[in-house]
Amino acid sequence: MRITSLAMLLIMVLSLPAQALWPWGKKKAKRNAEPVLELYNDDERRGELVEPKPRPAKREETVSAKRVMKTAEEGSPSAQLMLGRMYFEGRGGVEQSYEKAHRWFKASAKQGDPVAAFNYAICLDAGYGTEKNGAEALRWYEQAARQGIREAQLNAALTYETRDEYPKAITFFRMAADAGDVGAMHKAAELLLKRVDDPSALADGVAYLERGAAQGDHRAQVKLADCYQRGTGVTRDYAKMLNLLWLSAQGGDAEAEAKIGYCFAKGVGTVKDSARAFKWYKTSAASGYAPAQVALGNCYIEGAGAERDLEQGLVWHRRAAEQGDMMGQFSLGAAYANGRGVPPDADKAFTWFRAAAEQGYPLAQFNVGAYYEEGIGVEADASEAVKWYTRAASQKDVRALVALAECYREGRGVAPDRENAKRCLQHAASLGSEEAAKLLRKSF
C-alpha cells in the first residue's frame, strides 16, 4: 500500500490543467461584515454595506445645550434626541459625556422616536455610557428598523447573520433592500441563493441581483452572471452571463475580469482564445485577485497564451498562496514537491499542502495524508494519515477512499476493520475508481 499511496501522490502533486476552475472567491474578506457603530446622521445616509466611517466632523452649533435642556426635561422626544447628540459629540457648549448621551437617547427612544432608538442601540452595542448589552441593542435595532431607519435594518441583519440566524437576517436585509439599499440587495440575494431547495427563495435572490445590477452595482452583476452560469434561479444562459461580466469588468471588477478570462480559456459563451484569456487573467491578477493569479500562473506553466515560464508561474502562485488562496497554496506545494521552477523541498511542499488542506481542499488533504503515511516532509504518523484521508474521503475523493480502505484493511493508524475497508472501496468504485474495483475483486 505504501508504494500505491506514493504513486497516487505523485499524480496528485501535478498542477491542475490551466484555467480548469471557474474563478470563484473574493479578495481576502471577513466572513461577515460588522454592524456600523456610529450615530444616525441624516446627512450621511449609506447606500452600501461598508466599513465603519470616521465620526462626522463637529459642526458649529447654533442652539446651546442649555436652551435644549429645558425642552428635553419637559419631555420633548426631539429635544431629548438633540441633547443626546450634543453630549455624545461634545458640542453646544457641553463636555462630551457618553453616559448623559445614553440617558437622553434612552428617554427619547422610549417615547417612540426611531432615530433615538437607533442611537440608543448603538450605545448598548458599543458600550457608550453603559455596559454592553447585545441582546438589548438588537431589540432596539429591530424597533428602529421597523420604523424605517435603514442603518438599523442593516445592523439588525448583520447581527443576525453573525449569529447564523439567517431567516431573521434575510428579513431585515429585505427591509433595507426594498427601501433601495444596493448593498442590502446583494446581501439578501447572497443568503436567499443558499436555499438551493427553495425555488421561491432562488427567484427572490435573482430578483434582488437584477435590481442591483440594473443600478450599476458591479458585484450584483458578477453574482447574477454566476446564476446564469450555473442555472441557479434562472435558465442557464451563457450569453447573458458574458454580457453581465463585460458590464462589471468595464467598471474594473477583478472577479469579472478573471471570469471573462475563463470564458476565453474554455470557450464558454464565446470562442476559445488562450491569448485573450491570458490578457484578462493578467489584468485581474494585477489587481490582486487571487483566483486570477492562480490561473495566470497556470498559463505560464502550461504555455497557454504565453511562452512557458515556470519561474513566472511560481511567482503568481506564490502571490495567491500568500493571500491565503487555497488553490494558490496547493499549486505552490505542487511546485516544491515536483521541483517545478524551484528546487524540490519536501518540507515546504508539506507546509503548503497542509495550508490548503486546512481550508478543505480534498486533493491537498489526500496529499497531507500521504505525506504523513510516507514520512515525507514530516515525521511519519499513521493516525494523522488516517485523519486526513478521512477528511478527503468525506468529500468523495476516490484516491483518499482507496488509501483509507487500505488503512482499515491493514490496521495502519486505525483498528483493523474489513467492513469499513470494503465500504470505502465500494464507494470509490461507485465513483469510477478502477483501482478500487480491482481491490474489491482481489481482497473481498
pLDDT given for residue 42 in this prediction: 52
Contacts of 255 (CB under 8 A, 6+ apart): 23, 25, 26, 222, 248, 284, 289, 291
In a domain, 215, yes or no: no
In a domain, 359, yes or no: no
- Answer whether 22's CB lies under 8 Å from 318's CB: no
DSSP state of 44: G
pLDDT given for residue 11 in this prediction: 41
Give the span between the Cα atoms of 62 and 64, in whole angstroms: 7
pLDDT given for residue 27 in this prediction: 43
In a domain, 176, yes or no: yes
What's the grid cell of residue 137? 441593542
In a domain, 383, yes or no: no
pLDDT in tens, the chain (444 residues): 453 554 445 444 443 433 456 666 544 333 456 665 666 665 443 333 333 333 433 444 556 888 899 899 999 999 999 999 999 999 888 999 999 999 999 999 999 999 999 999 999 999 999 999 999 999 999 999 999 999 999 999 999 999 999 999 999 999 999 999 999 999 999 999 999 899 999 999 999 999 999 999 999 999 999 999 999 999 999 999 999 999 999 999 999 999 999 999 999 999 999 999 999 999 999 999 999 999 999 999 999 999 999 999 999 999 999 999 999 999 999 999 999 999 999 999 999 999 999 999 999 999 999 999 999 999 999 999 999 999 999 999 999 999 999 999 999 999 999 999 999 999 999 999 999 999 999 988
In a domain, 368, yes or no: no
Cα 282 to Cα 60, 287, 306, 434: the distances in Å are 50, 9, 11, 39
pLDDT given for residue 20 in this prediction: 53
In a domain, 128, yes or no: yes
In a domain, 351, yes or no: no
Contacts of 66 (CB under 8 A, 6+ apart): 93
How crowded is residue 368: how many other Cβ atoms within 10 Å of its Cβ? 28
pLDDT given for residue 65 in this prediction: 80
In a domain, 103, yes or no: yes
Phi, psi dihedral angles at 30 (to 5 degrees): -70, 155
Give the span between the Cα atoms of 370 and 7, in whole angstroms: 10
pTM of the full predicted structure? 0.81
pLDDT given for residue 36 in this prediction: 59
pLDDT given for residue 54 in this prediction: 35
- Answer whether 101's CB lies under 8 Å from 87's CB: yes
How many domains does the chain divide into?
Answer: 1
CATH number at residue 153: 1.25.40.10
Q: Which residue range(s) make up the domain with 175?
A: 28-52+64-192
- Which stretches does DSSP call E strand in 300-415? none
